[in-house]
Amino acid sequence: MKNCGDGVIRAYPLFQEEGGGANPTSPLQLTFEKIPMRQAQELNRKWHSMLPRTDLGNLLCGNMSVAYGAYFDGGYYAVAIWTQPIVRQMCDGATLELRRLAICHEAPKNTASRMLAVMAKLLYRERPNIKKLISYLAVDVHEGTIYRASGWKPVGKICAARPQRFSNVNSKTRATGPLQTTSRKQRWEKTLRP
């Protein structure tokens, strides 16, 4: 039996069969597909180690949003959420920001870097207006290995975390400020088109 966060518990044979068995053994076995934003939020909530909470209105703002799931044999193993950039000066209609990338603990090694590489190809093909991809790395907890493996580059200086402006945080507060990471951040970029 396995429940990898999509709400369905599946039974699998005791012994591994041809093709790798119940769980993928390589990220090459995963297929990548667009998924609804609400489903992406739910998968992110279950798997993201630091930022499980998202705000649907924030994710859908700007009409550029798209979410992808990494799928294998009836279940999802990773999720990614893309939106227009958070920084207003970067909202040029040609830049997409990776807001969340969350991986199930049962996903094969290198799933994250494979997913980044495949999504860049999908976005290049499906969105001819997109020239650049960006993401922000929490440098106090991550090193950028998955970005480097997928051809991304660090840009600019490492910035301090946003100040904590809210003193009374409850479940109805938007997913900003103290509900986000307190880590310093580094922007990473991947150019799709000159």
- pTM (2 decimals)? 0.78
Residue in 91, 90, 113 with CA at minimum distance from that of residue 101: 113
3-state secondary structure of 158: strand
The model's pLDDT over 172-193, given as tens digits with 9 standing for 90+, comes to: 544 444 445 677 889 999 999 9
Per-domain residue ranges for the chain?
27-133
Q: Which residues touch 57 (CB under 8 Å, ≥6 apart)?
A: none
3-state secondary structure of 171: coil
For residue 186, what are its two tokens? 């580094």
Q: Which residues pair with 169 in a beta bridge?
A: none
Domain 27-133, what architecture? 3-Layer(aba) Sandwich (3.40)
The model's pLDDT over 81-112, given as tens digits with 9 standing for 90+, comes to: 999 998 999 999 999 999 999 999 999 999 99
